[in-house]
Structure 1
Amino acid sequence: MNTILITGASSGIGKATALRFQSEGWNVIATMRDPAAGADLAALDNVLVTRLDMTDSASIAAAVAEGIARFGRIDTLLNNAGYGAYGPLEAFSADRIRRQFDTNVIGLLEVTKAVLSHMRANRAGTIVNISSIGGQITFPLGTLYHGTKFAVEGLSEALHYELEPLGIHVRIVEPGMIKTDFGGRSFDFAMDERLTDYTSTAQAMGRLFGKMAANPSAPEVVADVIWTAVNDTSSRLRFRAGSDAETLLDRRKQEDDESFLGSIKALMR
C-alpha cells in the first residue's frame, strides 16, 4: 500500500488531499502544527495524524521517522503548508520577513531533505510542491508571498534534474483562487498607518482580490490535480488547478510584461 506524507493537512487543500488519498486506499501521514485539529482524520483507517511545524527542524525529523515507523515507507511527499504575507515591504519587520521565507521555502526544503535519503534508497518517490498562480505572476503588496512562491517554482525545477535519475519525480501544482482560509489564519497582512503613501495601493489590492476571488475553486479541485500529478508517469513538471489558473497563466506566457502588468493594473481600478 502506498503512503503519502502531507504538510498542512488540518484544513483546505491539505485536508482535501488527505481525504482523497485515504479514499483511494493509500496510507496517509497527515501532519500539522496542532494534531488536535486533525481528530476527524485520525479516526479514519490508515491515517496517522502527527505534529509537524515547518519552522521546527526537530518536529520535521520526528514526523518523517514516525510515518516510516508506522507504515514502512513514504512514497509521496506533498509540501502544502504555507501562508501568505501581504503588505508594503516597509511595514514588515525582519522577523516577519524571515517567518514567511522560513515557512514557505526553508521549511519546504527541510521537509524535502528529510525524506530524500529514504526515497533515494528506494529509488522511487514523488515530491509534489504546492506553488500558486502567484509563483508565475504577481499581485500588489505581495513582495514576500510571491518571492516565496517564485522560489518554490525555481527550486522544484532544479530538483527535477537532480532527482529524476534517481527515480524520484518532482511535480509543481499551481492553484488559482481556492475556497480556503487563505484570507483568514493563513493570511498575514501588514500595514503601518504612518505609511500613507501606500494607502491607495492597499485599497486597489482589495478591489483586485475581490474580483479575483469571485468564483474560487473548491479545495477538492486541487486534490484531484494532486492525485493526477502523483499518478502521472511522464516527465511533466507543472500542473494547474482551477480555470482561472489556466486562463491567467496562459495569458502570462503569451503577453509581454507591459501588456500583462497593465491588465492587472486595470483590474485594480
Structure 2
Amino acid sequence: MKKTVLITGASSGFGKATAELFAARGWNVIATMRTPQDLPSAFVTRLDVQKPETIRTAIAAGLAKFGRIDAVVNNAGYGLFGVFELTPDEKVREQFEVNVFGVMNVVREVLPHFRETRAGCIVNVSSGAGVFGLPMISLYNASKFALEGFSESLSYELGALGIRVKIVEPGGVTSTGFGERSAKEAAALSSKVRDYDAFISESSQLFASMRASRGADTSATAERVAEVIFEATNDESDRLRYVATNDILPLVKARRQTSENEYMALMRANFGARRSG
C-alpha cells in the first residue's frame, strides 16, 4: 500500500520541491496551500495554518481520498527582516502565528489519526536560524527557536505512541527569501528611527555576502532540502535533527560542539556590528 504525506506550504520553494519528490518516489501526496494551484501528481487542497477549520477540512479530504496519512511535513512559514524595536506588534504576532502556532495547529489536528494508527511521522522544517542567532532576524530566530524546543519536547511525548518527530534545518536566512525583501523592509522600518541606519547598512552587506557565498554551495537548493526531508520522514530511528545544507554547518558545529565562550566570540567577530555614537 502506498504511503501518504501531507505537506503544508506546497505552492513553492521547499514545499513544492518536497511534494514533487515524494510523488516521484511513489507516495500519495496531499499538497496543501492557502491558494490552491495545480501541482501534477499531487492531490491539492486548501490549508491555511492560521485557520484551524481549513486544517481539519484538508486532513479530512486527504483521509477520504487515500484512507490514511503516514506523515506530515510542516513547511509553511515566513520570515521577518528588521530590527525588533521597529517591527509593529501585529507583525511580531503574525510571525509566531504562522511559524509556531500554525505548526501546533496542524499537529493537534493530525494527532488523533496518528494515535489511532499508532504510527506516523511529523517533520517540522526549521532553519539554521533555529540553531544560532543572527542580526536583523530576531523575530524569525525566536519563532524557529520556539519550533525546535516544541519539536524536541513533542518527540518525547509521542515516542511511546509510535509517532516520530523530526526537525529539518535548511540554510538559514540565505535560503528563505529574505534577501529579496531585506532592503525594502529595512528601509521602510528605519525611516522612523535613524539610530539603526549604520547597523542596518552593515547587516545588509553581511547578508549580501552570505548570499554570494551560498551560490557556490551545491547543497543549498530546494531539491536538496526535499531530499533531506524525505530521508528524515523514512528514518525510523530516534534521530531528531537533520542539517539539510552545508552552508550552515560551520555555525551549527560552533553552536553545538564548542564552548559558549568560543561560540559567542566567533559570532561577535563575524556578526557583531561596530558600536556607534
Output the TM-score relative to the length of structure 2: 0.89
Residue of structure 2 equivalent to 1:77: 72
User: Which AA in structure 2 matches 1:6?
Assistant: I
Q: What do the CA deviations read for 1:89-119 (whole angstroms, capped 9, x no partner)?
A: 2212221111110000001000011100000
The CA distance in 2 between the partners of 1:205 and 1:81, in whole Å, is 26
Q: Which amino acid aligns with 1:53?
A: D
Contact 2:32 2:45 in 1 (8 A): yes
**Superposition deviation, residue 258 in structure 1:** 4.3
Contact 1:87/1:141, CA 8 A, preserved across alignment? yes
- Contact kept in structure 1, 2:183 and 2:204, CA below 8 Å: no
Structure 1 spans left out of the alignment, 5+ residues: none
Q: Aligned residue for 2:14?
A: 13
- Residue in 2 that maps onto 1:28: 29
Give the length in aligned residue pairs: 263
1:142 paired residue number: 137
Map 1:162-181 to 2 at 5 A.
Answer: 162-177=157-172, 179=175, 181=177
Larger strand proportion, structure 1 or 2? 1
- Report SS of the residue matched to 1:9: coil
Q: Which residue of 2 aligns with 1:215?
A: 214
8 Å contact 2:99–2:143 — kept in the other structure?
Answer: yes
Matched, 1:153 2:153: no
Aligned mate of 1:244, from 208, 228, 247: 247
CA shift, 1:196, in A, is: 1.3
Q: How far apart, CA to CA, are the structure 2 residues paired with 1:117 and 1:187?
A: 44
Distance apart, 1:262 and its partner CA: 3.7
In 2 relative to 1, CA 128–257 (structure 1 residues): closer, same or farther, beyond 3 Å? Answer: same
Identity rate, percent: 46
Equivalent residue for 1:232, pick from 209, 231, 235: 235
* More off after superposition, 87-96 vs 152-161: 87-96
Which piece of structure 1 moves more, 209-218 or 148-157?
Answer: 209-218
User: 1:254 offset after TM fit, Å?
Assistant: 3.0
| 1:86 alignment partner, one of 70, 77, 81 | 81
- Per-residue CA distance 1:127-160 (angstroms, 9 max, x = gap): 0000111001011121210000000100000000
Q: Give the match's secondary structure for 2:160.
A: helix
Change (3 A) 1:104 1:255: same
1:66 equivalent in structure 2: 61
Which stretches of structure 1, 4 residues or more, deviate above 4 A after TM superposition?
177-180, 184-188
- What residue number does 2:108 align with? 113
Gap change, CA 1:108 and 1:92, over 3 Å in 2 = same
Task: Determine helix, strand or coil for the equivalent of 2:134.
Answer: coil
Task: Give SS of 1:21's match.
Answer: helix
Q: Which amino acid aligns with 2:224?
A: V
Structure 1 equivalent of residue 200 of structure 2: 202
The question of whether the paired residues in 2 share the 8 Å contact of 1:82 and 1:186 is answered with: no
How far is the alpha carbon of 1:86 from its aligned partner?
Answer: 1.7
Q: 1:179 to 1:154 in 2, by over 3 A?
A: closer
1:211 CA drift (Å): 2.1
**246, 267, 270: which one pairs with 1:264?**
267
Please tell me the residue identity of whatever aligns with 1:189.
E
Change in 2 beyond 3 A, CA 1:63/1:165: same
Q: What is aligned with 1:133?
A: 128
RMSD: 2.0
CA distance in 2, matches of 1:187, 1:59: 34
Identify unmatched segments of 5+ residues in structure 2.
Answer: none
SS of corresponding position for 2:10: coil
34, 37, 48: which one aligns with 1:53: 48
